[in-house]
Structure 1
């Protein structure tokens, strides 16, 4: 009885193995690496399968190698590409630890038919290739060449020197004009390198690659950069450059001077005109800037003032040719009541009144008014200028 049970179990295992092995395994499974970019690629031959099994998909998984010691039911394989029709799977996004050891496996399936697993062991520190510098910048400096190197980058744009502390660079340079160039080289772990012993005003070509000696890693070379070295400029070239620059800048200087001259002339004509402004405009502008400036015309409307009585008081002059005359104008009652206020104006202008020497009484004519001096009182006004109220001479 026990023998029959064992035979039945073995038969089931054989059938299961035949079902699992119904599809062939993928061919030429390779892992393409550069820095921390890992891409698993394979080849699938359609002619190896029957017509009903041509729609084949693939599944790729990874597992840390130390987990193989656990039972199979506890091995936690992580599927990265699940049932993909592509013939490659990118493991870069899995962020495999650079110093760890990993197992990558791949199989094909079509419906219920599957192939056997193909397992590859992978250690990035040992197996992953390193790339050349990200960029190389070559510039001439005082007859030499300065080489600026950018580190190769990881998948997350970090420097590879964080994973490979002993990474350094191998720089090769040669003279481009030579028919049989003699290559010179220099190694450096720095990102800024000065190439020594170069000829002035000569073309040189430079290329760089990355190296790591622990696992003998060598990258391919960067693109070749060619540039000419500089040197001390001859004096005749300095003089020639100066004359050329002077000849080019002189017309510009003249144009600038002409522009400044015309602009200054325009400003002077605008703010300081040669023809003076009319008196009313000047008076108006003066009123804007100073409210205390004397006015020729009253601010309020003029009033006609008429008077029948005129008193003139003339003090005794003391050795002066011009007597001081005070005119008092008495407004009529009607005019005072209508205006409600007394308007006065003083003038210091010369009235044209002159005095004559002598001790006797003298008469002074003031626009038709006869005055008897001293102490005389004159009545009668032939004509009084309109708008004049008080006059002082």
Structure 2
């Protein structure tokens, strides 16, 4: 019975050895690290003609447990049967100052490869990253550089793990003269660059440095800033003159625009072009025109016109009796009228002479009516008879 059991165990061990030896291990196992981010990478050379679906398993264990039979089963798996050629160990939260063993193997169906393991110490092997942020600003003729620490995977400062972390600050005067840079080393997060010229452009970049294991990060992006300083008096005076000239030009321009707009408005609403002479004569505006003006002011009416009242009877044949309110006549005309009335009253003239004198008086009165009508000095209170209208019309013609 014991012989049969020993034979069976020997057969199983031989089959197991054949199965393990049948699949090669992953090659070129390396770690890609930055601060507390760790990724284990490997290479796998696929055999031509093989139809096997190969997967990989990665594990980790503290180094002090590797030779202890008590902890030989304490391996913790991070990636199981993955087809990728890498495994992220960041979530494992490996102690930064500890020593760790990482291993990986390939498997396909019943075939597995031997484990390939690497020793890893984050404090010694993990790369340091550059500052998470750099701010450069001018302050009173100097440049202040504010440096933010590199961050862990939990967004905490790496100075929690690397106490002696410091920074290398490089700066140079002209963006094209980086080869002539200056640098300083400081553990502080706020650096003042004082040996600078005023009103000059400087470029700055920062690198993290861990001297214990001689580790240095890449440089941060380059930041360029101009220094400030007290402005010279001649420059202040020049700026004053320029501002004064600019203000004068602005006021001059606004004045020119205002005058131009005023002229345009005046020309539009009050044109300076006179009306042609025929139109002025027609409207009666030109001096010496025979045409009466279209409109007569009230003052002209009061000066040139007297009111004339004409009273007529209801019948057409009745003589028209007019009252003329005209300016007083001269003394000669008054004497002639007075002598005519005296001679009529005395009865010296005969009936024939009386009738002739009456007709002559009517003709004279008619001529005076026509003359007054033409002068615009009379007005009628009632409708005129046809004979008077015809007589006035003939006289006007």
The offset of 1:98, in angstroms, is 0.5
Q: Deviations over 1:337-359 (max 9, x none)?
A: xxxxxxxxxxxxxxxxxxxxxxx
Task: Write out aligned runs for 1:25-174 (5 A).
Answer: 25-47=25-47, 50-53=49-52, 55-71=53-69, 74-174=72-172
Structure 2 Cα separation of the partners of residues 150 and 180 of structure 1:
23
Partner of 1:209: 207
The offset of 1:9, in angstroms, is 3.5
8 Å CA contact 1:67–1:75 kept in 2: the answer is no
The offset of 1:75, in angstroms, is 2.1
8 Å CA contact 2:65–2:71 kept in 1: the answer is no
Q: Deviations over 1:361-387 (max 9, x none)?
A: xxxxxxxxxxxxxxxxxxxxxxxxxxx
Taking a change above 3 Å as real, the CA distance of residues 36 and 179 of structure 1, as seen in their structure-2 partners, is closer
Partner of 2:15: 15
Structure 1 Cα separation of the partners of residues 138 and 185 of structure 2:
19
8 Å CA contact 1:40–1:90 kept in 2: the answer is yes
The offset of 1:168, in angstroms, is 0.5
The offset of 1:19, in angstroms, is 0.5
| Structure 2 gap segments, 5+ residues each | 251-397
8 Å CA contact 1:39–1:92 kept in 2: the answer is yes
Misfit runs of 4+, over 6 Å: 1-5, 243-248
1:184 and 2:182 correspond: yes
Taking a change above 3 Å as real, the CA distance of residues 21 and 166 of structure 1, as seen in their structure-2 partners, is same
The offset of 1:94, in angstroms, is 0.7
Structure 1 Cα separation of the partners of residues 21 and 93 of structure 2:
32
**TM-score, normalised by the number of residues in structure 2:** 0.57
Equivalent residue of 2:162, what SS? coil
Structure 2 Cα separation of the partners of residues 26 and 92 of structure 1:
21
Equivalent residue of 1:76, what SS? coil
Structure 1 Cα separation of the partners of residues 132 and 59 of structure 2:
31
8 Å CA contact 1:68–1:75 kept in 2: the answer is no
RMSD over aligned Cα atoms: 2.8
The offset of 1:223, in angstroms, is 1.6
Name which one, 1 or 2, has greater alpha-carbon Rg: 2
Task: Write out aligned runs for 1:210-359 (5 A).
Answer: 210-239=208-237, 241=239
How many residues in Structure 1 have an aligned counterpart in Structure 2?
251
Q: Deviations over 1:298-322 (max 9, x none)?
A: xxxxxxxxxxxxxxxxxxxxxxxxx
Structure 2 Cα separation of the partners of residues 73 and 176 of structure 1:
61
**TM-score, normalised by the number of residues in structure 1:** 0.58
8 Å CA contact 1:175–1:181 kept in 2: the answer is no
The offset of 1:224, in angstroms, is 1.7
The structure whose residues are more often helix, as a share, is 2
| Structure 1 gap segments, 5+ residues each | 252-393
8 Å CA contact 2:141–2:198 kept in 1: the answer is yes
Equivalent residue of 1:146, what SS? strand
Structure 1 Cα separation of the partners of residues 175 and 29 of structure 2:
46
Structure 1 Cα separation of the partners of residues 119 and 177 of structure 2:
48
Structure 2 Cα separation of the partners of residues 205 and 151 of structure 1:
20
8 Å CA contact 1:34–1:131 kept in 2: the answer is yes
The offset of 1:47, in angstroms, is 2.5
Partner of 1:348: none
